[in-house]
Structure 1
Amino acid sequence: MFNKALDHLEEVLIAFLMAAATTIIFAAVMHRYASGVSFLYDFVGRWNFAWAQELCIIMFVWMAKFGAAYGVRTGIHVGVDVVINRLDARMRGKFIVFGLLAGALFTGTVATLGGTFVWENGAHYSIFNFFGIAPEDMYEGPTTPDLEWPTWIVYSAIPLGSALMCFRFVQVCVSFLKTGELPHHDHGHVEGLEEDTTDEQRAAQDINWFEMDDGLHPKDIAHHEGEKKEKGE
């Protein structure tokens, strides 16, 4: 249940950031052009969108960090596995586990260093000040130029996103040790687009020669090797 809730939260956060950033950019661009029209300037000229660019940059940073964690979970990240797939099953498994643990170590290190940076950049002051125990000489930390938000809030994307990415690496590694399969994403799959099997000519055109087992989590090469063994090939 925890994993499902975390998956849902991750997807909702990414979708919200994408939708919000797109909406803000659209509104800012329309405001810019409307301000150049004489009869519209009286209505929109007083609106201030100077903060829009900074906010969208912050949103895209957060979206990228949590999107990277989502990519580890679903197998979207591009990887060169030509040599790995030509190894025997035992050696291939060792290299895959090594790669996943190396990814977990790297992202865990980034999360730790990022957390230290965020803490010293003003998070400690905000937390101590919230509880009323912040000394007068404690460093408050800088703020962003336009929004005037504490920068530690913006930079929190680094430790939080990296920590989630580290967890995803460990999660995929444990799953691989249990099942021998890795998550892969079918980039040729279009959600909601089904094949037309009623017309023979159209059905022949709709054949996806690169189609994998499903749209989101196609089976790993180990799965297909197992199928071959079952069929006696």
Structure 2
Amino acid sequence: MAAYWLYGIIAVLIAAIFLAERKYPEVISNLEENILALLLAAITLVSFVQVVLRYGFNSGFGGALQLTRILFAWMILIGMSYGVKMGSHLGVDAFVRMLPKRGLRIAALFGAACTALYAIILLNADWLGIFGANGKGGAMTYWSKMFQLQLGLEDLKYPTFMVDQFGWPERVQRWVAYLILPISLALLAFRSIEAFVQIFKGERDLMIAGHEAEDLVAENKDALKEAN
């Protein structure tokens, strides 16, 4: 059974981002960039410290590898929605660019709608039963199970003083690490819907940053002259 209260928290988060962006767009963009930069810096720092401890002092942090994997996953998952927002996801647009303006717009809207639908299905597929599809589960259901079971990660542990002083479990719970799954998918759906609206209004052409055809033409514009 899904923790339905998490839907409310995610809805409030997205609403807050939406309202804040209307008034302070640069602040939200900088915040997202800083979060991604901090995650990358944390990965680098943990890896560096682990190498120094291992080869310099024959010691090390037991959960370093798992921590860097989790941080890397968080960076990728948060980066999904940020990439949609900034239009920085790579894509091949050689075909759609050959379409007339109306066809390009329809293709772009279709792509944005498919991305939003993809994120929503991964978030929770139970609603597909309305259409007779045998779909169930998703990130929300998976996270809820981890939250109810309170299972710990294999290697990553809380500091000893937290365990002693606050009575925390020895190992970091899986639901803490996996919380990014429903949040990131909800943000991806939000950014995809936002892109759909922007494309519909004519504020952007595509969700992707695909300019392979233009780059190829620019690089080879003098090729025929040189050949002759």
TM range (shorter): 0.5 to 0.7
- Structure 2: stretches of 5+ with no match in the other structure: 1-18, 125-137, 157-170, 212-217, 220-228
Matched, 1:114 2:139: yes
Alignment of 1:187-202 (within 5 A): none
Alignment of 1:28-39 (within 5 A): 28-36=50-58
Deviation track 1:5-26 (CA, whole Å, cap 9, x = no partner) reads 5433322211111001101100
Alignment of 1:34-113 (within 5 A): 34-36=56-58, 45=59, 48-112=60-124, 113=138
CA distance in 1, matches of 2:202, 2:51: 50
RMSD: 2.2
Alignment of 1:161-172 (within 5 A): 161-172=184-195
CA distance in 1, matches of 2:184, 2:81: 7
Which structure carries more relative contact order (alpha carbon 8 Å, separation 6+)?
2
CA distance in 1, matches of 2:87, 2:196: 12
The alignment's TM-score, normalised by the length of structure 1, stands at: 0.64
For these two proteins, the number of residue pairs brought into alignment is 163
Once the two structures are TM-superposed, the CA of residue 179 in structure 1 deviates from its matched residue by 2.1
CA distance in 2, matches of 1:141, 1:6: 33
Per the alignment, do residues 94 and 185 of structure 1 end up closer, same or farther by CA in structure 2, a change over 3 Å counting? Answer: closer
Percent identity of equivalent pairs? 29
Once the two structures are TM-superposed, the CA of residue 92 in structure 1 deviates from its matched residue by 1.4
Q: Which residue number in structure 1 is paired with residue 20 of structure 2?
A: 2
Once the two structures are TM-superposed, the CA of residue 91 in structure 1 deviates from its matched residue by 1.5
On the 8 A contact 1:100/1:169 being kept in 2, the answer is: yes
Q: Which structure's CA Rg is the greater one?
A: 1
Once the two structures are TM-superposed, the CA of residue 69 in structure 1 deviates from its matched residue by 1.2
The alignment's TM-score, normalised by the length of structure 2, stands at: 0.65
The one-letter amino acid of 1:142's match is L
On the 8 A contact 1:110/1:158 being kept in 2, the answer is: no
CA distance in 2, matches of 1:80, 1:117: 33
On the 8 A contact 2:90/2:209 being kept in 1, the answer is: no
Per the alignment, do residues 186 and 92 of structure 1 end up closer, same or farther by CA in structure 2, a change over 3 Å counting? Answer: closer
Matched, 1:142 2:151: yes
Bigger helix fraction: 2
Per the alignment, do residues 98 and 71 of structure 1 end up closer, same or farther by CA in structure 2, a change over 3 Å counting? Answer: same
Per the alignment, do residues 185 and 90 of structure 1 end up closer, same or farther by CA in structure 2, a change over 3 Å counting? Answer: closer
The one-letter amino acid of 1:144's match is L
- Structure 1: stretches of 5+ with no match in the other structure: 37-44, 126-139, 188-208, 211-233
Once the two structures are TM-superposed, the CA of residue 169 in structure 1 deviates from its matched residue by 0.8
Matched, 1:181 2:204: yes
SS, match of residue 145 in structure 1? strand
On the 8 A contact 1:101/1:170 being kept in 2, the answer is: yes
Q: Choose from 38, 47, 51 the match for 1:16.
A: 38
